[in-house]
């Protein structure tokens, strides 16, 4: 499906009077005129493709995986979908610099670092950053405990991972209900409950910390988080929580 914008945008005029339709309310743009009045939004910028583009861009900014968005957009080529995930190196560096001061450990305690150390000594895994040396060296593909981040001393989440952690907690709760319905052994449900508790502790402490910050700084952190989520989602490298290493062919 092509994502080329239409050649002729919708007309700028509002619904004419006497047409029997409710007129569209005024739309305001950013800024004001010389008299302090809010500027009107250019209605020529409103056309069907714009809604499609906004839909895709908001998914990308929220961190929706590129293969999922490709299906949602019905793109034939994943290269088309990846256009929505383009983040400059400068923006990534600025985002890392902002979030490196708000990193936590597995217990939800502050574990800030310099932006250089954060980039050099950690790797992105599904629910946070990882500083375990062998996993960092392998680009996040060699977790010794199979991505059970909540129980790892090398786990370093930052605010950009909040949606992923919350989603994972819901998955763990669903798994626990399934295990209970199956009559699974107690150690199975106990382990799931412990993971839920650990991740929830991280979220609670992170949200408490963010709530204590000035509104302007929270906005900056959310903007930086959006940049990093978008960059991670556009990465073709997919991490699975239960990835196992396959032995090499001896031949």
Tens-digit pLDDT profile for residues 8-37: 444 444 555 555 666 677 777 777 888 888
Residues of the chain with pLDDT > 90, as a percent, come to 28
Long-range contacts of 53-62 (CB under 8 A, 24+ apart): 53/3, 53/5, 56/81, 56/84, 57/84, 59/84, 60/84, 60/85, 60/230, 60/233, 60/234, 61/226, 61/229, 61/230, 62/163, 62/226, 62/229
Interval 202-216: pLDDT, tens = 999 999 999 999 999
pLDDT for position 38: 84
Tell me the pTM.
0.62
163 against 86, higher pLDDT: 163
Tell whether the model's pLDDT for residue 120 goes beyond 50. Answer: yes
Calculate the average pLDDT of the chain: 80
- Provide mean pLDDT across the span 170-186: 96
Length of the chain, in residues: 251
C-alpha–C-alpha distance, residues 184 and 171, integer Å: 17
């Amino acid at each position: 499906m092509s994502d080329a914008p239409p050649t002729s945008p919708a007309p700028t005029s509002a619904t004419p009077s006497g047409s029997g339709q409710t007129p569209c309310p005024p739309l305001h743009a950013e800024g004001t005129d010389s008299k302090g009045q809010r500027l009107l939004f250019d209605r020529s910028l409103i056309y069907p493709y714009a809604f499609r583009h906004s839909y895709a861009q908001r998914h990308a900014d929220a961190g929706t995986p590129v293969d999922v968005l490709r299906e949602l957009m019905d793109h034939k080529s994943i290269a088309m979908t990846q256009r929505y995930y383009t983040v400059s190196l400068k923006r990534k560096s600025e985002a890392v610099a902002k979030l490196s001061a708000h990193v936590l450990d597995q217990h939800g305690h502050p574990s800030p670092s310099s932006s250089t150390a954060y980039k050099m000594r950690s790797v992105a895994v599904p629910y946070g950053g990882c500083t375990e040396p062998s996993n960092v060296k392998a680009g996040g593909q060699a977790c010794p405990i199979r991505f059970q981040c909540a129980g790892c001393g090398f786990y370093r989440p930052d605010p950009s991972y909040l949606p992923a952690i919350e989603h994972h907690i819901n998955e763990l709760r669903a798994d626990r209900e399934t295990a209970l319905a199956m009559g699974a052994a107690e150690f199975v449900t106990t382990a799931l409950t412990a993971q839920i508790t650990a991740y929830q502790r991280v979220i609670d402490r992170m949200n408490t910390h963010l709530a204590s910050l000035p509104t302007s700084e929270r906005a900056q952190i959310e903007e930086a988080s959006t940049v990093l989520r978008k960059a991670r989602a556009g990465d073709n490298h997919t991490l699975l929580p239960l990835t196992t290493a396959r032995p090499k062919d001896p031949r």
